[in-house]
Amino acid sequence: MCKLRGADCTVTWRASKHSSYPKNLAPSDCPDAGLEHSEDAGSPTRLSLASSESHLLCHAMSHEIRSQGLGVYFDIIEIPMSKFLSEKCVPPSFSLGIAALTPLGQNVKLAATFPTVQSSIRNCWELATFSQLPASAMPQIFFTASILDVLFQRSNSQSNCVKLTARDMLLTETYKWVAIAAGSQFAVHKSAAENSGISCERAKDIAYATWCKAKNMVFTNIAANTSFRLGLSLLLFGTILPPSGTDGSDGFEDASYAIHEGICRLQMLCIQARARLRNSDIQARTDTPLVGMSRPGEKPHLLQSLPREARKNVAELIAAFEWLVEISQSVAIALFPRRSFAVTPSIGNFNSSSSFLADEAAQRPNLKRAENQKDLGSMDDAIITQVKANTQPVVVLWTRGFPDHLLNSAILESGSLVILMWKSLAQLVLATRKFWVDDADYTDVYRHLNTMIMLIEKWRKAFGNIDHDTAISLQLVTTDLRRSAIFCATDGDLAILIFYEISCQLRKRLSDQPQSPKNSLHERLELTSHYRDSQRLTSAMQISYLATPNLGVSSPGIQGKAGLKASIGDVRAHPHPTMVVQAYKLAVRGLAEEIRSSVNIADTKRMSELLTGLDRCLRELEGLKSTLIMYPDTEWGGETVNFP
């Protein structure tokens, strides 16, 4: 048992699961042996790959392959995720998110620290030698984690000048390989593939080798349990589509464990960092796992020496990671409802009795709110207020040619509402799990059901409805905004499709039970049945329309028209590829069932639209199969993974 985390020891679990790992390099063989080493007993170490993978890794280690993987990572994962952790998308109480790096780096106390950390990342990632990346390219999310580690991880950060250690270099290299593996899961076709001479089979080999390299580095360095950087590496690694390896290991279990462990660690680190930050005004004696004890006569810790405004910016960085944890946790629970978490998720309380949601409940009697519930959490309340202030739907803004800055703000604000939908969806999943063990709280499920319905209503109003014409007009929008709009729409409609599936399972479960206190919940499900059916059809059709511009237009991304992203397409360029696959699979299921139920209806126009929509979704699934090297064959809700 880990005393620090209050959970089973991750190192022991990993050792028992992969006892066949090769031995670590001896200290004298380590290329970073000349660097100063951290006093942390859990310093990371390098790990050589198994011999069966070494020949693949040799090719994957080439500069060209590393450049390709990092280029795709920047374009598809880093840029959109950085936006959703910056202003307009983070809760309004924290206005900057990771954008607070800019003012924080201008502080005189950190004037030397920022360039040192940036230079270390650039050198390790060899960013200056990648022609496909702009000169200013920097992994902002990892850079944020690095700064947080400087401020909270080190017990000797008393100087304005930070001396990097071998530990720092290895954690930076670990995330670099996770980023390369994340980029390598996307197949690069057409001119880019021809220029590099990479065949489809070779791309699979490279994806497998880079995934194994990333896995080995992440899990070998897992003892660094006070590092934001390793927590972030675990989190990203868990979202990568795992390959079907030849070593008999369960890739999906590795990925599931990684995202679970990354969430738990980042939760813990954010809680400790925020507690340390609150006490930074008083230079009292503290002793936490993050920052050591301040003794009389010692210089104050670097964090304590920062002015108040700089500490506010540090709070913004912590808030961005808290937001990242909530997003990742909610998606993991809702996307894989049969996985079990060893600890209770810390998703903020959220219910449908907020005054902002009550307005809509009054206008729609059949969607009445649950009674006698607490008010909405202040963070979620502020998000709803912010979105409600935007009177023009996102779809209207892009079809009428509104200025880019207005469209960008509306998309990000709508995206924050999508995140609330996923939070509510995750809470509904957790509440309904108890039905399978006969320990259900009907009131709790009723509340989350109402919340989800209300959020769907609000998001529909904030984003608008997509049809064939509005989807075509999206081609006229700039590349970044088009990708952001598709990203937001896909995630929102996927949440609605999953909500439909959960509601159907819940309804069937209640129908099989004798009448009891469940009556009100069962009645609620019956009353909203038609509403959920219509929302499912709307989302399925919108997802099909999103594939329309994707069939004819591909955004070039930051590498230009001949870049790596040019052949992937906008819909498929998603930071979490499994979400896109599940969105189109559930859309196909919804449209197919709607067609079957409409066979006897003499409406040729409607039938034609449904068949066309189904065809678009099936075509897009074929496109996803060719784009995603390790295409996930599992259906939503079909995977079960338990942790110790």
- Asked if the model's pLDDT at residue 377 lies above 80, the reply is no
Distances (CA, A) of 452 to 174, 339, 455: 38, 21, 5
- From CA 115, how far away is CA 125, in angstroms rounded? 15
**Same domain, yes or no, for 276 and 363?**
no
**Same domain, yes or no, for 420 and 315?**
no
Per residue in 99-110, pLDDT (tens digit) is 999 999 999 888
Any idea what DSSP says for residue 340? -
**Taking residues 359-387, what's their average pLDDT?**
49
The amino acid that residue 92 corresponds to is P
Task: Let me know if residue 636 belongs to a domain.
Answer: no
- From CA 521, how far away is CA 467, in angstroms rounded? 34
**Same domain, yes or no, for 266 and 125?**
yes
**Same domain, yes or no, for 574 and 526?**
yes
- From CA 104, how far away is CA 152, in angstroms rounded? 15
pLDDT band at 376 (very low <50, low <70, confident <90, very high): very low
**Domain end marker among 332, 363, 378:** 332
**Domain end marker among 281, 300, 332:** 332
- Asked if the model's pLDDT at residue 202 lies above 50, the reply is yes
Q: Which region, left, alpha or beta, applies to residue 374 given φ > 0 means left and ψ of -120 to 50 means alpha?
A: beta
The pair of three-digit structure tokens given for residue 12, joined into one six-digit string = 């022991």
- From CA 209, how far away is CA 630, in angstroms rounded? 13
The pair of three-digit structure tokens given for residue 151, joined into one six-digit string = 């401020």
**Same domain, yes or no, for 402 and 258?**
no
Q: For residue 24, list its beta bridge partners.
A: 47
The pair of three-digit structure tokens given for residue 119, joined into one six-digit string = 């230079």
pLDDT at residue 340, as a whole number: 66
- From CA 528, how far away is CA 450, in angstroms rounded? 10
Task: Let me know if residue 44 belongs to a domain.
Answer: no
Query: Taking Cα atoms as reference points, which of 148, 143, 140 lies closest to residue 80?
Result: 140
> Mean pLDDT in the chain?
78
Q: Supply the pTM of this predicted model.
A: 0.83
Q: For residue 36, list its beta bridge partners.
A: 165
Q: For residue 628, list its beta bridge partners.
A: 186
pLDDT band at 551 (very low <50, low <70, confident <90, very high): very low
pLDDT at residue 644, as a whole number: 36
Query: Taking Cα atoms as reference points, which of 547, 557, 550 lies closest to residue 73?
Result: 557
Task: Let me know if residue 643 belongs to a domain.
Answer: no
Per residue in 342-360, pLDDT (tens digit) is 445 555 433 333 333 334 3
151 or 345, greater pLDDT? 151
Task: Let me know if residue 635 belongs to a domain.
Answer: no
Q: For residue 97, list its beta bridge partners.
A: 86
Lowest-pLDDT range of 91-95, 146-150, 327-331, 635-639:
635-639
pLDDT at residue 159, as a whole number: 55
Task: Let me know if residue 43 belongs to a domain.
Answer: no
Lowest-pLDDT range of 263-277, 365-379, 426-440, 482-496:
365-379
Portion of the chain with pLDDT greater than 70, in percent? 69
Lowest-pLDDT range of 32-46, 133-147, 547-561, 594-608:
32-46
- Asked if the model's pLDDT at residue 288 lies above 60, the reply is no
**Same domain, yes or no, for 440 and 475?**
yes
**Same domain, yes or no, for 280 and 359?**
no
**Same domain, yes or no, for 268 and 396?**
no
Full domain range(s) for residue 249: 54-332
**Same domain, yes or no, for 317 and 360?**
no
Q: What is the CB-side half-sphere exposure of residue 408 using CA atoms within 13 A?
A: 13
The pair of three-digit structure tokens given for residue 537, joined into one six-digit string = 């059809």
3-class secondary-structure state, position 359: helix
Task: Let me know if residue 593 belongs to a domain.
Answer: yes
The DSSP string of 251-316 is HHHHHHHHHHHHHHHHHHHHHHHHHHHHTTTS------SSS-PPPTTSPPPHHHHS-HHHHHHHHH
92 or 344, greater pLDDT? 92
**Same domain, yes or no, for 182 and 292?**
yes
389 or 325, greater pLDDT? 325
- From CA 141, how far away is CA 132, in angstroms rounded? 20
Residue showing tokens 């008083």: 282
Determine how many CB atoms are found less than 10 A away from the CB of residue 175. 26
**Taking residues 94-98, what's their average pLDDT?**
88
**Same domain, yes or no, for 486 and 388?**
yes
**Domain end marker among 303, 332, 361:** 332
Confirm if 296 and 288 have CB atoms less than 8 A apart. Answer: no
The amino acid that residue 262 corresponds to is G
- From CA 467, how far away is CA 616, in angstroms rounded? 13
- From CA 184, how far away is CA 67, in angstroms rounded? 10
Confirm if 376 and 351 have CB atoms less than 8 A apart. Answer: yes
Q: Whole-angstrom distance between the N-terminal and C-terminal Cα of the chain?
A: 11
**Same domain, yes or no, for 551 and 410?**
yes
pLDDT at residue 146, as a whole number: 96
Helical packing angle, 113-125 and 140-152, nearest 10°: 130
The pair of three-digit structure tokens given for residue 2, joined into one six-digit string = 């880990």
Task: Let me know if residue 257 belongs to a domain.
Answer: yes
- Asked if the model's pLDDT at residue 542 lies above 90, the reply is yes
Task: Let me know if residue 489 belongs to a domain.
Answer: yes
Number of domains in the chain: 2
